[in-house]
Amino acid sequence: MKTKICRLLATSVVLLTGNLWAGPPLICQKVEIGAAKSLPWKSGPNWNGADSSYNIANLSRDTLALLTPATPVNVRMETLRRAAIYAASEPRRAEELTSRLLARTLDAEAAGNAAPQAWFDAGYFVETLRQATFVYRYDMLSGKEKAEWKLRGEGASLDGYAWVQKAIRLGGKDMYRAVSLMAEYRNADLQSRASK
């Protein structure tokens, strides 16, 4: 049923260019990472490959351990996408990871470091959470799925888009695709709301 969410969203969200998204891009579009290490995931055609045997109590620790300074942006994006999908079943994990990602930005700034990657990670995760909550607006989950996918408004008051833009201003490399996906989705979402 969850695969239907992305298909249904494709009919609900039309980009200004006339193309259709297959659901919120930060959630539904896998980022190719090859053999790079990320959070546990089951490969397949489905956007949600969350491994049911993964202990999400370790989500913050594992995610932060993967987001080293040497981690390429595409691996960061996929790791944070997976983290948001895992966190959707246990919102306190979303809050914990958001707090820890934000703490890294503050620690870096206090130490006088620019920290574009830290700003990127916090911003990308918050925006991914924002897109994950889209499924509730259109009541696209069955009762059982709603019980599993608990994420509702977490991160909605935070502006991860601005943080990713800041990361780019601070010298972050290869981050334009992420900010472009965010901008296009926001524009399509605004257009969708305006047409109602």
Residue of 154 and 175 predicted with greater confidence: 175
Give the pLDDT mean for 86-91: 86
**Helices first, then strands: H and E counts in the chain:** 10, 0
Report the distance separating Cα 134 and Cα 44, nearest Å: 23
Give the pLDDT mean for 159-169: 94
Average pLDDT for the chain: 81
3-state secondary structure of 50: strand
- Identify the pLDDT of residue 15: 34
Q: In this structure, what are the phi and psi dihedrals at residue 50, rounded to the nearest 5 degrees?
A: -55, 135
Least confident residue range of 46-50, 76-80, 117-121: 46-50
Query: pLDDT class for 8, splitting at 50, 70, 90?
Result: very low
- Identify the pLDDT of residue 164: 96
| Structure tokens given for 125 | 């995760």
Least confident residue range of 61-65, 85-89, 153-157, 172-176: 153-157
| Structure tokens given for 120 | 């990127």
Residue-range definition of the domain harbouring residue 28: 2-50+57-78+87-194
Give the type of residue at 116: P
Among the listed residues 89, 25, 93, 90, the one whose alpha carbon sits nearest the alpha carbon of residue 62: 93
What percent of the chain is modeled with pLDDT above 70?
72
The pTM of this model reads 0.81
- Identify the pLDDT of residue 133: 76
- Identify the pLDDT of residue 191: 59
- Residue 112 CA: distances (Å) to CA of 8, 26, 101, 105, 182: 46, 31, 17, 11, 28
Say yes or no to pLDDT of 30 above 60: yes
User: What domain count does the chain have?
Assistant: 1
Taking the alpha carbons at both ends of the chain, their separation in whole angstroms is: 26
